[in-house]
Amino acid sequence: MKTLKSPPRNRAFFREHGPAHAAYGLIGLLGQLLSGLSLAYAVYALLIDQIGWTTGLTFLALLVAVFIETANRVLSRRAIRPLVVKDLFADDPTARYRHEVLSRSYLVVLLVVAALSYLLSSVGSTYYAEDRAPQPVLTNADSLDQHFKGLAEDLKAEFVADTALITPPFNQRLNAAHERFIADSLALRRERSQYQPCANAGNRWCQGKLTAYLAQIDRARARRADSVAVISGAKTAALAQVLNRRNARLEALNQERGTTLSAARTDNERLKTESATDTRFKGFIFIILTVAGQTVFYGMVYFQLQIEAGSEIDIEVLPNEFWAEPSIFAELKVTIAWRVERGLRRLIRWVFKAPGAHDTSIPYATLKGFESGLNQETPADADGHEDAREEPNTPDPCAVKGTPPSPNLADLQQRLNQYRKRLASHRQKALRQQKEKGEVSVRTERAIENNERWVRHYQDLLNTLTAASGSGNGQAHPAQPSTQKTTTDE
């Protein structure tokens, strides 16, 4: 169709406000473009978490954005125009009633589309701010902990090495004292053995010598005990000094470890808080920009309609030459049916070696009430469908054309298994996020909720179909659940 605008009859009004008409259109287009890009990013961010691939996903997101913004652009003029131009079709009550119904319908649908556009634009702004925010440089507390554990292990190894260095000298001194005692006692025993014969003969002096030598051996044993006590005490003192030094260093290291880890965690929390605050602020700014862009678009449409109404510009819609003709799809359908019919007739002639019914020419599809001036007439027997009308036993179709096939148990079970796998995958992702980051992202939670809803839906559908199959050959067609804006089931 062709839309024609008449010259403005109110030249003074148009001279005052008309120059801004094109500028208003450009401003509205830019505002709508800003909102549409944010909307497309929201769709992209919502789908990428579930689909996981980017080939064609950008095109799909842009297609959704173009669809919503095109609906916005078309419906805005139709819904806002009754606010500018009033009392249309005042002379025709029927036309006035239909006009009011359509105007209210335009307004309701526009409100729904506008709410969807505002919502997705806000979500897209938030996601964009989150995805483009630089990640804070956090201190790795685990690495610090491992570092301090390594230092503690080094201290323990150093203590073992010091102990190994201190112990041998003392052990050597102990062995030397013991060996000296053995040597002294052996020498005394040899000298004492010289007086043994005369002592056995009853010589008192020799017996005194034996007693004296025994006393010397006892004194040597006492000296050895004193030496062992002194050496053992010195060894114990040296080991205690090393142990105390190690314990003091370990205590200082543990205090430093606790202080450092606490400071690192505090800095990490501060950086995360600052990053989250900055991200929320940027997201809020983006939301304001996208909402303002969409609102400015509606305002520009209102201004343009006011200029057109004040300038008394009439709009005339002229249908083109194809307005009353069949659509290309109707023509294609008829042509394909004719080609199939001709092929079947040739197949019949080839199989049965007999001529089939007469061939038909290409039919011309036309809309009833809009016949062209060519006055083309189709003979009653030239459409090739008289055979079906002449056979009384032609079976009636079991369903109207376009009715979706009834679900079966195999397909439903396959879909149920598919959503169960997706649900398990998202739950595993949530566990990993909880373990690594300490929290689960909003998109993952929404994906889990959506897949849980689809699992319940297909489970109920299977139960319903199973019950219906058990009681009879009935078919169940429960309504599909509404998907959220965060995920998709494909």
Question: pLDDT tens digits for 198-248?
Answer: 878 777 888 788 788 788 888 888 888 888 888 888 878 888 888 888 888
Interatomic CA distance for residues 441 and 276, integer angstroms: 13
Tell me, what amino acid is at 422? R
Instruction: Please list, in sequence order, all residues whose beta carbon lies within 8 angstroms of the beta carbon of residue 462, skipping any fewer than 6 positions away.
Output: 409, 412, 413, 416
| Per-residue model confidence (pLDDT) at position 485 | 37
Interatomic CA distance for residues 52 and 64, integer angstroms: 18
Compute the average pLDDT of residues 276-297.
89
Query: pLDDT band for position 481 (50/70/90)?
Result: very low
DSSP string, 228-242: HHHHHHHHHHHHHHH
Neighbouring CB atoms inside 10 A of 100's CB total 13
Tell me, what amino acid is at 294? Q
Query: pLDDT band for position 367 (50/70/90)?
Result: very low
| Per-residue model confidence (pLDDT) at position 473 | 46
Instruction: Please list, in sequence order, all residues whose beta carbon lies within 8 angstroms of the beta carbon of residue 93, skipping any fewer than 6 positions away.
Output: none
Which residue would you say has higher pLDDT here, 138 or 362?
Answer: 138
pTM of the shown model: 0.50
Residue with tokens 């006393």: 215
Query: Residue 32 corresponds to which tokens in the numbers above?
Result: 């709508």
For the CA atoms of 262, 268, 271, 272, the dihedral, rounded to the nearest 10 degrees, stands at -130
Interatomic CA distance for residues 283 and 42, integer angstroms: 13
Integer angstrom CA distances of residue 128 from 125, 279, 285:
5, 9, 11
The pLDDT tens digits for 67-118 are: 999 999 999 988 998 888 888 888 888 988 998 999 899 999 999 999 999 9
